[in-house]
Structure 1
Amino acid sequence: MLNNISLHNFALADQLSIDIEDGFNVLTGETGAGKSLLLDALSACLGERSDAAQVRFGQEKAEAIATFNYQEHSPEAEWLKEHELLDESGEIIIRRVIFANGRSKAWINGRPTSMSELKTLGRLLVLLYSQHSQQQLLDPPYPKQWLDRYSGLSEQTQQLRQAYQAWQKSQRLYQEALEAQHSRAAKIEQLTLQIEDLEPLLDIPYQDIEQEYDRLSHHETMMQDCSALIYGLDEGEQNLIQELGTLLRRAEAQQSRSPQLEQVYNSLINAQSELEDAASTLRQFIDRQSFDPERMEQLNQLLEQFHRLARKYRTQPDELLQQYGQWQQQLEQLNELENPEYLAQQVEQTHQHFLDLAQQLDQARKAVAIDIAAKLTEQVKPLALPEAHFEFKFEPLDEPNADGLSTIQLLFTANKGIPAQPLARVASGGELSRIALVMQVMNATKTDAEVLVFDEIDVGISGGTAEIVGRLLADLAKHVQILCITHQAQVAAQSDQHLLVKKQQTDPASSTIITLNEDQRIQELARMSGGVEINETTLNHAKQLRKLKFN
């Protein structure tokens, strides 16, 4: 539920905060007062496109904040939990800042968010119906979309689209496989030869043989240096280990006289141990060394083989085995995924699955269409269309598509004895607006969103018809929260909360929104129904309209 909207330097609003109540809320005001102010701010908070014109004249930025609460296991609560945005207060606080250069930023519960995330959350919170919604009735896909949504077939429709896409994808892969058969065979042959080229080297560690070859090719100088090292460490007349022993005895004699001298002594002890280990390792290394010219020649041939293949395949010798693994993977993919016979089976399976789902959905639509058309007829009749009649017409498609097996038209007649015809052909503008309104109200009963916004959807109706529309919205508001911008006193009289937009000629001009008490509501209803001059007659009429709310 929407609790509050706060604005700062947003369009005509300087500083504004409005609490929104449960039930049926209406927003009224004279033409040009800024009734769209609240709606524009709410749309901005729901991730819709922002505009630099929404920044108040002379200011650097505009700010809109919308505060909602939510039920524990609602779709929006699950979304918040998934995105780690749950707040201990149990609220959703959406903040949108729009800068004068056209850029904008948004936050959800204090964390920066993207417009994509904001739109996704917004669709879970609020559904918006505008005065232009009647134009949707003239779009060929709309009757089918409306029927699916109202009858709860949207999930089946989505599954059908996914099945259609899977079928189309399998067809595309099959065609690509057929076209690429020749190049595929050539590529398989090439990869096979490359893999065979490297197979003799698979069990040979390049770095190990390179190091062994380096050791044999420098055997003479290596042994000379090792002998010099062992002589200087332990075998010469004045070797390092012996000299270190002399120094160690001096350090031992003084180590008890200072912590620093003790540290020196311990360091020399460690050094002596390290030098002794080094000398021992050198002796063992020297004992194991021997020069093998045959082994050196063998290593030389192996290295030449590595370098030749590395040049051939334009890589480094130590990366040849990695290249081998990549070729193996490519070969497996070509053998398994590009098999035209296998893909042909996939095409048949996905096509049949799509046709099965399409048949099920077509039957489900036809099964509910008669009852839903009857409900629509009964809802429209009270709106000055007593002879209205609706029916859905199904016509098979030449080729099934992602929407199913049939086109669906909504047929309508407003006159007794006249056959129903396509809505766009026979309905007047006033009839379209009333039909659109009823279809929106019917759809609203099926939504998970807890807030519905109606933006002047009652344009084109008046009198008793407007009163019935007001009752429709009031009944709907028993289940969801409604915010409705209206020019009709009969609609506004049915509301639970009445908000009035007033323009103030400050410098620059500004708009404010106030919550009306009962006496103020009577005055505003009188203005809406009687024009500029408010007299006893218009006031009595306004009081009568309010009484209808409680009858």
Structure 2
Amino acid sequence: MLTHLTLINFALADHLALDIDKGFNVLTGETGAGKSLLLDALSACLGERTDTNYVRYGSDKADVTATFSYQEASAEEQWLKEHELDDESGEIHLRRVIFATGRSKAWINGRPSSLSELKELGRLLVQLYSQHSQQQLLEPPYPKHWLDRYCNFYEPAQAVRNAYSKWQKDIRQHQAALDAQATRKQRIETLELQLEELEELVQIDYKEIEQEFDRLSHHEHIMQDCGYGLAALDDAEQNINQELSSILKRIESHSGRSEQLSEIYNSLLNAQSELDDATANLRQFIDRQSFDPERMEELNTHLELFHRLARKYRTQPENLKQEYESWQTELEQLHQLEDPETLAEQVEVSYQDFITKAEYLDQIRREAATPLAKQLTEQVKQLALPEAHFEFKFEPLEQASSEGLSFIQLLFTANKGIPAQPLARVASGGELSRIALVMQVMNAEKTESEVLVFDEIDVGISGGTAEIVGRLLAGLAEHVQILCITHQAQVAAQSDQHLLVKKRQTDPASSTIFALEEDDRIQELARMTGGIEINETTLQHAKQLRQLKFQH
């Protein structure tokens, strides 16, 4: 869960450190006080996009840190271990620094991190629901996605997408085989001729025979120069080896008198050993050399063939072997390429696999739809919609897709005796906001995230409806941590921790956030229900709202 937030020069906050409790946390404050401050900071730590407006006026950077605790064997612990970011503290520290230039940097547990890693980990930690979520209800795919998410149909839905992708791939391969059928035979014949022409030649290493031919071409000069070298080293009357031996004797007699002379003597001794080896190798090389005119002619023939075929295939002689191997691979692939009839059979097999998986997905969706619609109906009825009724409508698609066999609509009616119609067509703005709220709460019940953030999702409700929303969130907070921005006193009264955002008239202006004690909570609830003028009546009403929290 989220345990701590630190904001430094972030928007209206100059320096703000805030502890967050478990359970149901609400955030309230007057309009313009900066209620979005905390959520913006949290979003920045979760890798969301930022801009220079987040940097406090007059500062060169904003610095935000969010601290989370986590359970053993949780998804986030596994993620940390996979990325070697776990530490002994048993906490997750997410830090984001935003510079006035527009750049930003991020850290996870003190180590530099990419924004994609922040987002990946953030999705495991926090789920965010906003007041704009009601617009999602109007998008055609939403009912299907909501049904799959609530009923945990991710795996069968993904299996259908994978099977559809395989089917489409097989269709493309079949078509490619049909297109290539005419030219395939001709290409195979061409490759076989080219391979036959190069088959013997590529057994020879071009670089080796080129070097050998060069050596034979310069045999006389090589032998002359090597003979001169051997004579100078060992055979001449005044040779290098004898001179070096004489020098060694003279230096050796004095090497004990100077450390530097001793080092020089050792160096010369090593040089003598190297010269002896070189002399022996040179003598051996000379003894083994012989000029073979027939071999030279053979090499010349090979080289001419290499150059002729290199010109023919427009490559370098040393690359002919690589070309040969490439043609071999292409020929093997052409021979392995199944004919169109075989591929047509594979298309049918993959189609049947897709249809089997899609029919299963359609079946479990239909079976789950009725009880889920009934559950949604009962939940929404509590929010001042006593005659609400929902049902899912499945319409077969003209052409199956990666999403399944049916187009799924959510139908709704708020009035008894009137048939349910598509939600987008009949629901008013107020009804949409309440329906979105319930669907989000139901989704939140199924999430694996330990932190749920609700950003003004109770807009458009009031009175008893808001009280019921507060109870829904309070009940949900028994299992997960909730952070909720709200304008409704009935919702705020149900919270475990009440955070107040207050603007201070500093220069430049700043905002602060702090947790309220019980007496201050009553004052804030009274302000939320009664406005600027707080009297005994509004205070009494605020106390009653708080008492409702402990009665349920």
TM-score by length of 2: 0.94
Distance in 2 between residues matched to 1:454 and 1:31, nearest whole Å? 18
Distance in 1 between residues matched to 2:22 and 2:325, nearest whole Å? 65
Distance in 1 between residues matched to 2:494 and 2:263, nearest whole Å? 94
Structure 1 unaligned spans of 5+: none
The range that moved more, 191-200 or 13-22, is 191-200
Is residue 117 of structure 2 the alignment partner of residue 117 of structure 1? yes
Deviation at 1:331, TM superposition (A): 2.8
Distance in 2 between residues matched to 1:169 and 1:368, nearest whole Å? 31
Deviation at 1:502, TM superposition (A): 1.1
Deviation at 1:268, TM superposition (A): 5.4
Q: Which residue of 2 aligns with 1:493?
A: 493
C-alpha distance 247-464 of structure 1, shift in aligned 2 (>3 A) = closer
Is residue 140 of structure 2 the alignment partner of residue 156 of structure 1? no
1:98-497 aligned within 5 A: 98-247=98-247, 249-250=249-250, 274-337=274-337, 339-497=339-497
1:495-515 per-residue CA deviation (whole Å, 9 max, x = no partner) reads 000011111222222111121
Distance in 2 between residues matched to 1:500 and 1:20, nearest whole Å? 12
C-alpha distance 198-259 of structure 1, shift in aligned 2 (>3 A) = same
**Secondary structure at the counterpart of residue 92 of structure 2:** strand
1:225-265 per-residue CA deviation (whole Å, 9 max, x = no partner) reads 33333444444333444444555555565566666656565
**Secondary structure at the counterpart of residue 305 of structure 2:** helix
1:442 partner letter? M
Aligned length in residues:
551
Distance in 2 between residues matched to 1:234 and 1:35, nearest whole Å? 95
Distance in 1 between residues matched to 2:295 and 2:507, nearest whole Å? 98
**Secondary structure at the counterpart of residue 513 of structure 1:** strand
C-alpha distance 253-131 of structure 1, shift in aligned 2 (>3 A) = closer
1:147 partner letter? L
C-alpha distance 299-509 of structure 1, shift in aligned 2 (>3 A) = same
C-alpha distance 278-421 of structure 1, shift in aligned 2 (>3 A) = closer
Deviation at 1:204, TM superposition (A): 1.5
1:80-112 per-residue CA deviation (whole Å, 9 max, x = no partner) reads 111111121111111122222333222211222
Distance in 2 between residues matched to 1:187 and 1:331, nearest whole Å? 8
Deviation at 1:297, TM superposition (A): 1.0
2:399 partner letter? E
CA-atom RMSD, angstroms? 2.3
1:73-112 aligned within 5 A: 73-112=73-112
Q: Which residue of 2 aligns with 1:545?
A: 545
The range that moved more, 492-501 or 229-238, is 229-238
Deviation at 1:338, TM superposition (A): 6.8
1:22-37 aligned within 5 A: 22-37=22-37
Deviation at 1:214, TM superposition (A): 2.1
Deviation at 1:32, TM superposition (A): 1.5
Distance in 1 between residues matched to 2:110 and 2:395, nearest whole Å? 52
Q: Which residue of 2 aligns with 1:513?
A: 513
**Secondary structure at the counterpart of residue 118 of structure 2:** helix
Deviation at 1:390, TM superposition (A): 1.5
C-alpha distance 516-288 of structure 1, shift in aligned 2 (>3 A) = closer
**Secondary structure at the counterpart of residue 511 of structure 2:** strand
Is residue 14 of structure 2 the alignment partner of residue 14 of structure 1? yes
The range that moved more, 289-298 or 342-351, is 342-351
Deviation at 1:411, TM superposition (A): 1.6
Distance in 1 between residues matched to 2:303 and 2:145, nearest whole Å? 70
2:299 partner letter? L
Distance in 1 between residues matched to 2:265 and 2:52, nearest whole Å? 78
**Secondary structure at the counterpart of residue 359 of structure 1:** helix
The range that moved more, 260-269 or 147-156, is 260-269
Deviation at 1:336, TM superposition (A): 2.8
Distance in 2 between residues matched to 1:524 and 1:264, nearest whole Å? 92
**Secondary structure at the counterpart of residue 43 of structure 1:** helix
1:267-320 per-residue CA deviation (whole Å, 9 max, x = no partner) reads 555555555544444444444333222221111111111222233334333332
Distance in 2 between residues matched to 1:477 and 1:469, nearest whole Å? 12
**Secondary structure at the counterpart of residue 200 of structure 2:** helix
Deviation at 1:447, TM superposition (A): 0.3
1:88-144 per-residue CA deviation (whole Å, 9 max, x = no partner) reads 111111112222233322221122222222211111111111112112211111111
Would you say the 8 A contact 2:202–2:320 is kept in 1? no
TM-score by length of 1: 0.94
Distance in 1 between residues matched to 2:106 and 2:134, nearest whole Å? 32
1:458 partner letter? D
Distance in 1 between residues matched to 2:268 and 2:201, nearest whole Å? 49
Would you say the 8 A contact 2:26–2:483 is kept in 1? yes
Deviation at 1:530, TM superposition (A): 1.2
**Secondary structure at the counterpart of residue 445 of structure 1:** helix
1:375-395 per-residue CA deviation (whole Å, 9 max, x = no partner) reads 111111221122222111111
Structure 2 unaligned spans of 5+: none
Distance in 1 between residues matched to 2:103 and 2:270, nearest whole Å? 67
1:14-67 per-residue CA deviation (whole Å, 9 max, x = no partner) reads 211211110000111111111111111111211222122222222222222211
Distance in 2 between residues matched to 1:207 and 1:91, nearest whole Å? 62
Deviation at 1:184, TM superposition (A): 4.3
Distance in 2 between residues matched to 1:105 and 1:244, nearest whole Å? 67
Deviation at 1:467, TM superposition (A): 0.7
